[in-house]
Amino acid sequence: MRRHHDDEVHEHEIHEHDRGLSYDLPVLARRRMIRLMAGVGAGLVPLVGCTADDASSPAAADPPSSPSAGAARSAECATVPEETAGPYPGDGSNGVNVLKESGVVRSDITRSFGDSAGGTAEGVPLTFTLTVVDAASGCGTPKRGAAVYVWHCDREGGYSLYTEGVADENYLRGVQETDDRGEVTFTSVFPGCYTGRWPHIHFEVYGSLGDATSATAITSTSQLALPKDVCDTVYATEGYESSVDNLGRLSLESDSVFRDGHDQQLAEVKGSVEEGYTATLTIAV
């Protein structure tokens, strides 16, 4: 069963994503209760996750330890928290549904697609790879043929399809099918930091590309967190001015989503402003 937001987006009101804790926490609570009830009734396997690179630690505080072989590896395959999709998912659960539009299956999400949209998101280049693996194997077996839908805000903190000024755009959204390694890689820009939320990327995992493009049977919904040191460096560049103050009022420990634990959601990020950044995270289903 798909989730539905109780709150609708209206013009001339405070942007929903600017509400931070006041919005995300009750939505998160409702989502977790729905998932819990569904899991009890259907015996669903929970989403679990691992660090992006099993052989190395993220370049940020509190890195998770690297999994080892056999039983020890299975024990390290910890559960990834189920998170809110927020008010701007674009998956049909809160108004517009971009997943059923031709062109949404793509790797480069910097540009809008379709006849009515033609904008390009500006910012520091970011390429991120999500690896979907089988939880029952202890994170050791890639999930080939699954699908991942991703979306995030632009450098000004706006969400395409919803936020005033970019509501006619659909950039920074896309779907891909996992390859033989269980990977999907998206070319994007580094997201900004808006009021009340730590810099993040939303994602939904589906059992197949068909499920994703028909917007049915979501396996799990979660968020990827970006490390502070990289955020500080990126936000010192042109176009991210508003993110500096917003980030300065936040921490991963105080964020409404990540404060209950972020080890399994904190991406490993490498690179530079000049050459662009790469982020990686492994998630298990």
In DSSP notation, 7-53 reads ----TTS--GGGGTHHHHHHHHHHHHHHHHHHHHHHTPPPPEEE-S-
- Stretch (H or E) spanning 190: none
Say what the pLDDT of residue 41 is.
37
If we measure between CA atoms, which residue out of 261, 281, 243 comes closest to residue 56?
Answer: 281
Q: What pLDDT shows up at residue 31?
A: 41
Cβ atoms 165, 173 nearer than 8 A = no
Predicted TM-score (pTM) of this structure? 0.77
Which pLDDT score is estimated for 138? 87
For the cut 80, the answer to whether the pLDDT of residue 153 exceeds it is: yes
What is the mean predicted confidence (pLDDT) over 93-102?
Answer: 96
In the three-class reduction of DSSP (H, G, I as helix; E, B as strand; rest coil), residue 185 is classed as strand
256-261 average pLDDT score:
93
- Please state, rounded to an integer, the average pLDDT across all residues of the chain: 80
Query: Quick one: three-class SS letters along 131-197?
Result: EEEEHHHCCCEECCCCEEEEECCCCCCCCCCCCCCCCCCCCCEEEEECCCCCEEEEEEECCCCCCCC
Residue given tokens 């634990």 in the structure block: 261
Nearest residue to 179 (alpha-carbon basis) of 205, 146, 219, 213: 146
- In angstroms, the CA 149 to CA 221 distance is 10
* DSSP code of residue 123: S
In tens, the pLDDT along 178-223 reads 999 999 999 999 999 999 999 999 999 999 999 999 999 999 899 9
How much of the chain, in percent, has pLDDT values that exceed 90? 64
